[in-house]
């Protein structure tokens, strides 16, 4: 991922967190809770201004921001014990404990609204993105639900899909009664369905058939697997990826380079290219390369790899390239009939993302996918978002941004200490029972939440590092 991708990813994450904090800000204002500071960004203050009771600031680090509500921390409610009390409090003429706009001097319903405002605005922001896409319309190239079926797995046993009767070229119509409009619809069901029977309706040679397939938990990916992949088009002799410190990369070849000939022999397919490479270990070869509108020769010495199969030792040539695999796609033009239809579609799409996020959490808890491999924090979100920004279409990028917004809304509202959901549960309890927690209880909950958040952040950060390193090595 290049620098541009990283910068775009940081900007996107910053926008989503700012939207979240603005939700807290607006709902606090509506609920009569004072807001001392609203900051876009963290760290050193670049510019600030005072408007009404609130100080607005823009800070150096663009990773989101924060909304400082009056009296929301222990040090605010006990200023005598807080040497590091915020400077903004000096400008507040009324002590926090007597200020009617202090958070814990407002009724529980007001605090509930202020707390849920962040997740609510993330969710509304996702609806807005989907709404805009449906309103203005877009064309989308989706991978068809036509599949390639692997016969055998690494354990030298038949794949679940092959054993159930599926074959390469089958077109999957539905999974458990849900229509499959693209391959991604299949992937969602399979990845999260380890151990659960999936009933697939498919078409082969014009006839409709049914197969029951049970995904297994893949040790490699940590998710469900049945042995299907998108249907591949004939592979052309185009470089789809390079291995570092191997002949092709060392010779300066690049992705999307087309290999026209090898030592004067025309190359028409990727299979012809691999056969040539395998048959010429350690040989110096002149390849004719097409890059854009230019054609040139590249001379490189192939390396080799030795393999043993049933006692037979074979030395094969090695170039260090991956094929450019293309899948069968179809173009879909998507546009709402009117503004009301667009809103309905946007709401349903956001709701679908929410349900999928919930299903992902459930299967993690049940152990049907590997938590360590699939849990993502800010580093991996930046990594994936940057890749989407620089390689995917603008529509796909916006859709991904909306899904991240939904995920932020969902995980922030979980009823856990330190998260918005934990505060929501506490204030909801007071609202329903009319039992107000003591200052001591609030302090304990606050410190437990702080410990939980710091611990979770450390775990997620370390996990991101481990996964990024593992992916790089792989």
Q: What is the CATH number of the domain that holds 265?
A: 2.30.42.10
Residues 28, 106 contacting (CB under 8 angstroms): no
Sign of the four-CA dihedral 454, 459, 460, 466:
positive
How many other CB atoms sit within 10 Å of the CB of residue 466? 12
The residue ranking higher by pLDDT, 104 or 300, is 300
- Assess if residue 10 is contained within a domain: yes
Confidence class for position 382, pLDDT limits 50, 70, 90:
low
Where do the DSSP E strands lie in 284-384?
A: 284-291, 294-301, 303-309, 312-318, 321-323, 329-334
Q: Which long-range contacts (CB under 8 A, 24 or more apart) does 396-402 make?
A: 396/140, 398/129, 398/132, 398/133, 399/129, 399/130, 399/133, 401/12, 401/16, 401/129, 402/125, 402/126, 402/129, 402/130, 402/349, 402/350, 402/353
Do 113 and 24 share a structural domain?
A: yes
Do 132 and 148 share a structural domain?
A: no
- Assess if residue 82 is contained within a domain: no
Residue 235 has pLDDT above 80, yes or no: yes
Residue 363 has pLDDT above 50, yes or no: yes
- Assess if residue 39 is contained within a domain: no
DSSP letters spanning 249-295: HHTT--TT-EEEEETTEE--SHHHHHHHHHT-TT-EEEEEEEETTEE
- Residue-wise pLDDT for 191-223, tens only, equals 878 888 999 999 999 999 999 999 988 877 777
Do 215 and 118 share a structural domain?
A: no
- Assess if residue 56 is contained within a domain: no
- Assess if residue 73 is contained within a domain: no
Do 330 and 195 share a structural domain?
A: yes
Could you give the number of structural domains in the chain?
3
- Assess if residue 316 is contained within a domain: yes
Quote the domain boundaries for residue 254: 239-323
Do 113 and 23 share a structural domain?
A: yes
Identify the three-state secondary structure at position 183. helix
Distance set, CA 5 to CA 19, 241, 242, 379, 456 (Å): 21, 19, 20, 13, 26
Catalytic residues: 21
Do 274 and 213 share a structural domain?
A: no
- Which pLDDT score, from 0 to 100, does residue 350 have? 93
**Among 42, 37, 36, residue whose Cα is nearest residue 65:** 42
CA distance 426 to 430: 7
Confidence class for position 390, pLDDT limits 50, 70, 90:
low
Lowest mean pLDDT among 75-79, 80-84, 330-334: 80-84
């Amino acid at each position: 991922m290049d620098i541009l991708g990283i910068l775009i990813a940081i900007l996107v994450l910053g926008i989503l967190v700012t939207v979240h904090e603005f939700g807290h800000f607006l709902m606090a204002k509506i609920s009569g809770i004072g807001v001392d500071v609203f900051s876009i960004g963290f760290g050193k203050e670049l510019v600030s201004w005072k408007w009404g009771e609130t100080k607005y600031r823009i800070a150096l680090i663009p990773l989101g921001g924060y909304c400082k509500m009056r009296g929301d921390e222990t040090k605010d409610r006990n200023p005598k014990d807080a040497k590091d009390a915020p400077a903004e409090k000096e400008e507040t003429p009324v002590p926090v404990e007597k200020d009617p706009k202090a958070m814990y001097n407002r009724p529980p319903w007001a605090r509930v609204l202020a707390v849920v405002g962040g997740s609510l605005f993330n969710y509304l922001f996702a609806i807005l993105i989907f709404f805009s896409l449906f309103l203005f319309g877009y064309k989308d190239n989706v991978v068809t639900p036509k599949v390639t079926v692997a016969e055998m797995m690494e354990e030298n046993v038949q794949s679940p899909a092959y054993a159930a009767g599926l074959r390469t070229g089958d077109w999957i119509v539905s999974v458990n009664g849900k229509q499959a409009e693209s391959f991604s619809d299949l992937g969602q069901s399979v990845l999260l369905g380890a151990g659960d029977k999936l009933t697939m309706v498919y078409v082969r040679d014009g006839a409709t058939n049914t197969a029951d397939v049970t995904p297994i938990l893949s040790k490699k990916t940590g998710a469900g697997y049945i042995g299907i992949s998108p249907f591949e088009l004939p592979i052309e002799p185009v470089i789809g990826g390079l291995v570092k410190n191997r002949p092709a990369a060392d010779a300066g070849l690049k992705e999307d380079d087309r290999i026209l000939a090898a030592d004067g022999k025309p190359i028409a397919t990727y299979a012809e290219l691999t056969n040539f490479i395998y048959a010429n270990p350690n040989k110096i070869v002149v390849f004719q390369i097409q890059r854009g509108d230019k054609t040139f020769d590249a001379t490189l010495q192939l390396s080799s790899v030795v393999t043993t199969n049933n006692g037979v030792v074979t030395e094969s040539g090695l170039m260090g390239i991956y094929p450019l695999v293309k899948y069968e796609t179809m173009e879909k033009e998507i546009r709402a009939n009117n503004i009301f239809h667009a809103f309905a579609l946007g709401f349903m799409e956001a709701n679908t993302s929410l349900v999928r996020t919930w299903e992902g959490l459930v299967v993690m808890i049940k152990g049907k996918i590997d938590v360590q491999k699939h849990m993502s924090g800010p580093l991996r979100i930046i990594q994936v978002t940057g890749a989407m920004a620089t390689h995917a279409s603008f529509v796909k990028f916006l859709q991904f941004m909306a899904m991240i917004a939904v995920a932020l809304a969902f995980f922030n509202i979980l009823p856990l200490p330190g998260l918005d959901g934990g505060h929501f549960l506490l204030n909801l309890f007071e609202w329903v029972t009319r039992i107000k927690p003591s200052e001591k209880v609030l302090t304990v909950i606050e410190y437990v939440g702080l410990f939980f958040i710091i611990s979770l952040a450390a775990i997620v950060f370390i996990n991101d590092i481990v996964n990024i390193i593992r992916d790089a090595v792989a």
